[in-house]
Structure 1
Amino acid sequence: MSIARLSTADSDFNARLEALLAWDSVSNAELAQRVDEMIAAVRHRGDSALVEYSNRFDRLAVSSMAELTLSPERLKQAFDGLSDEQRDALSTAAERVRSYHERQKAGSWQYTEVDGSVLGQKVTPLDRAGIYVPGGKAAYPSSVLMNAIPAKVAGVAEIIMVVPTPDGVLNDLVLAAAHLAGVDQVFTIGGAQAVAALAYGTESVPRVDKIVGPGNIYVATAKRAVFGQVGIDMIAGPSEILVVSDGETDPEWLAMDLFSQAEHDEDAQAILVSWNSQHLDAVADAMARQLPTLERESIARTSVAERGALIHCRNREDAVALINRIAPEHLELSVAEPENWLPDVRHAGAVFMGRHTAEALGDYCAGPNHVLPTSGTARFSSPLGVYDFQKRSSIIHCSPEGASTLGKTASVLARGESLTAHARSAEFRIID
């Protein structure tokens, strides 16, 4: 097994770290042009373009959108057909995700000033949200729950889900999750064409207000292209994990924690940081033993070889600096008293505290959302949540006295900007 070994004491550490972290989710010009052409085709030809692309890219043989539409009854059938174990696990995860996100709900508010003017904020859910669910290398029922349930909690009236079905293969766990999460309509379409359909609408696919959910480079490029026409959650890069260990956690546990992200795809990133060099050696040995046992060995092997690393740092302060520099999607603090570290962690999508809190628990059933900022964007972005499906309107209701008082201030500022119509509009309300 090959994995990079770095040390913060090395003179070339910064350059090697930057090379390791480098990831550009922006597609090249040729791919962007193809995506633009697909979006244009869907805008102008609607359902017929969706049927054509689905036949071409998913190797189907359908003639109408009716064959690419799943009824609520089909979703319920999938849920009812699960084993008791699967149904219970999915239901438990859904309830935990719902319970966590209920605490994120923001309410409208207002206050009254002394002169009787009322100021406030009105919180309104989006009318319709679109959820993209991957259907390529793996099926992700957990993504259905993580994207749809916050929308439902926010009060979104209608949720439209798109999921590609290569070779016509439906995943009943994904469909069951859609039923459980309250998805209203499901279309078995994917790629840039599905994003275009959600953004602009077709004869069959309703136009949405926001598109959320992960996808491949075509999906990411299409989301970037339609942003402004609709809202999007983020342009997500490959999955990533940064584990910080004080040397006391079982190396076997940490090796599998790293593989839990490396198995996503070849571009995923798994990094371990410790100031205990012998511990790093032990984790490397554990990874070498465990790698051949993985069902997705080839993917994980490529991931750790090309983007993984074991980093030796000098001390705790060094480790904290690395955390905030990398701004990881997932951060495991596999240390004693992790709560003492938390005040120093400024940039991380989700923080998993202590030796027993495997990142995988957050992927499925802990409760917090697993849709997280990647590629260092945790410096300015947050996990997907209820707030992503709500919008806020400012409320301003001036009393006559309040309008007069504010009018004087507004007049001075407007005339300072040479916007005299603004000034005169405010001055009409001034009470002499």
Structure 2
Amino acid sequence: MSCKPDVRAYNAVIDGLCKDQMVDDALRLLSRMIDKGISPNIVTYSSIIQGLCNVGRWKDVKELINEMLDNKISPDVWTCNILVDAFCKEVMVEEAENILEIMVQRSIYPNIVTYDALMVGYCLQGQMGKAKQVLHSIADRGLTPSIISYNSLINGYCKQGRVDEAWNLFLEVPCKGLQHDTVSYNTMIQGLFHKGRYADGWKLFNDMEARGISPNLPTYSILLEGLCRTQQIAQAFSFVRMMEDKGVNPDIFTYGILIEGLCKDGKLDMARDLFNQLPSKGLQPNVHIYSIIIGSLCQEGLVEVAKVLLVEMEKSGCAPNSVTYNVMIQGLLKRNELCNAMPLMEEMHKRGFLADSSTASMLLDQLQRKGKDDILMKTIKNIVPKVEDLFWLLRYSFNRV
């Protein structure tokens, strides 16, 4: 006796496909289940909507919602939360607010997940006042804020450098009957470090351990970055050994922090040694690490070595990006090696990359020194965005001379 799959079986497979970003396969399976006379339900559609949102296929999301409504299937709070969350993560907060209005009109009651997502959206937009208003309105709606609610706001304030306001929210958490988690501590420690308050950050880390909240790899990475930023390189290496003793294996990002710290501290040879050890640790350098080493090599005048590494980088399957070329060019311009930088700028243009603000500023300095140079001007036009702003700066600069 054969057992025919029902809607729940299809839903499980569709959900799995969407989580693996195989949305087209999920859509084909949806068509197949309909052809077999099995009606999709709200769970089916919600899973696919989530999958489409995750890959930014907004037109398909709209079409699927229309199909769902045509089939007389009304969205529930879960479906709406998927949309609110997706819009907010894309900083499309106005669209998220529209979903919230529709929810109210259809008597679909927003829950804490809805408001948490909305707060994230406001924080990403830098609208901390609105985000805090949402937090304060949650209790009025008969809901209880979660630690996620507070973590979102703490992160938003820290990103804006408003660490004291973040700290006040951090202190408010236990007063609301909530407990800090690892994310709370990680966010607050990083915020303090970015404001140069390293002693306060380390004190908070000690408090975290004293309260029995286990640090994770991001915690250790934040602390390691703090040590490197304060040029405590020896302590940073000791810290990595301590991590390993505690059973926390450093990943490629951990080593990236160390390599960047060494380069900024003028220890390029040590950075290259560590870079060369990565394969033996089972790790493959990423574009960020390659860019750090390549930029430092150019800054030290080792242009040919940097070019060889650029070739090796591509052979290993790691494609250079805009940052790679910008750091190379900046390194050369710092040494007044414009002739070596020019071919890289041409290559940068061919790959469709643009100069960042630092590179553009350094090129402006070169033009001021050299005066009229048609070849350089043509190259700059190719790689500097908003070139009209650059010409305004040029006219302003030349008028000052």
Structure 2 length-normalised TM: 0.25
Tell which has more relative contact order, 1 or 2 (C-alpha 8 A, sep 6+).
Answer: 1
Structure 1 length-normalised TM: 0.23
- Tell me which protein shows more helix as a share of its residues: 2
The structure whose Rg is larger is 2
